[in-house]
A = this chain, B = another copy of it.
Amino acid sequence: MKLALNHKSPIPLHIQAEELLRKMIADPQFQNGKLLPNEIDLANQLAISRTTLRQALNKLVYEGLLIRKKGVGTKVADAMISSKSANWLSFSQEMKARGIPIKNFELHVSWIYPEEIIANFFNIKTDQKILKLERLRGKPEGPFVYFVSYFHPRTGLTGEEDFKRPLYDILQADYNIISELSKEEISAKAADKFIASKLETEPGSPILFRKRFVFDQADRPIEYNLGYYKADSFVYTVESRRS
């Protein structure tokens, strides 16, 4: 692996180092509990000070991607997929950060009359068609999550978009809608026939079910999202502090 930073670049060295570390994290070479080079050596290789390198390391440790242990070293955190409520990484970004290749198994777009609950959430009538997006995604070995999203007409989405791009990019760049607030409900349930067939598992097998309500800057509802995760494929992490 080429280890060099551009000292002439206007991009700060600790940012460059951070980017490089993200690539290292994605590298299978460091995946299975193997240690990264130690801080002093790595700093020397990059021709930056240990302080600057640690600035980059700290960020990744904070994100839960790296684990440091005094007297031992620094390793990549086990690649169980997790979502930190603090950060707004999209599904694809999250996978990328961990070097897990994503495979899109299915993608289906349709215009449907919303169910009562959804119409209610969007504050619209049930006789107005809305965009429904279904996606089956996972690792190359097989799917592990089935998403269903409904979008408020306000988003302007046509269904013709290139959904290979991150959704939040599309909304922000092309439709000037920024997702600000998200409320989530996480629970466990048994897979029904439909979900089981999608996720290639048995009906009745455990599923992590995640409902997500997304709002824009003005707290207006934007997206209603349901995620069905195969058990043990996904861990939701939350950090909270008593105030």
A residues neighboring B (CB under 8 Å): 22, 26, 58-59, 62-64, 82-88, 178-190, 204-209, 229, 231-232, 234-243
Q: A59-B62, A188-B206, A188-B232 are in contact. List 14 more A-B contacts (CB 8 A).
A: A84-B242, A88-B240, A180-B241, A180-B242, A181-B239, A186-B186, A187-B232, A187-B235, A188-B207, A204-B204, A205-B206, A206-B206, A236-B236, A238-B238
Write out the residue numbers on chain B whose beta carbons fall within 8 Å of the beta carbon of A204: 204-206
Q: State the Cβ distance, A82 to closest chain B Cβ, in Å.
A: 7
Task: Tell me whether A238 and B205 are in contact (CB under 8 A).
Answer: no
A178 to chain B: closest residue by CB = B242
> How many copies of this chain are found per oligomer?
2
A25 to chain B: closest residue by CB = B243
Task: Tell me whether B238 and A186 are in contact (CB under 8 A).
Answer: yes
Q: A87-B238, A238-B87, A243-B84 are in contact. Are A231 and B187 (CB under 8 A)?
A: yes
Q: A86-B63, A205-B204 are in contact. Are A238 and B183 (CB under 8 A)?
A: yes
Task: Tell me whether B184 and A208 are in contact (CB under 8 A).
Answer: no
Write out the residue numbers on chain B whose beta carbons fall within 8 Å of the beta carbon of A229: 188
Task: Tell me whether A181 and B86 are in contact (CB under 8 A).
Answer: no
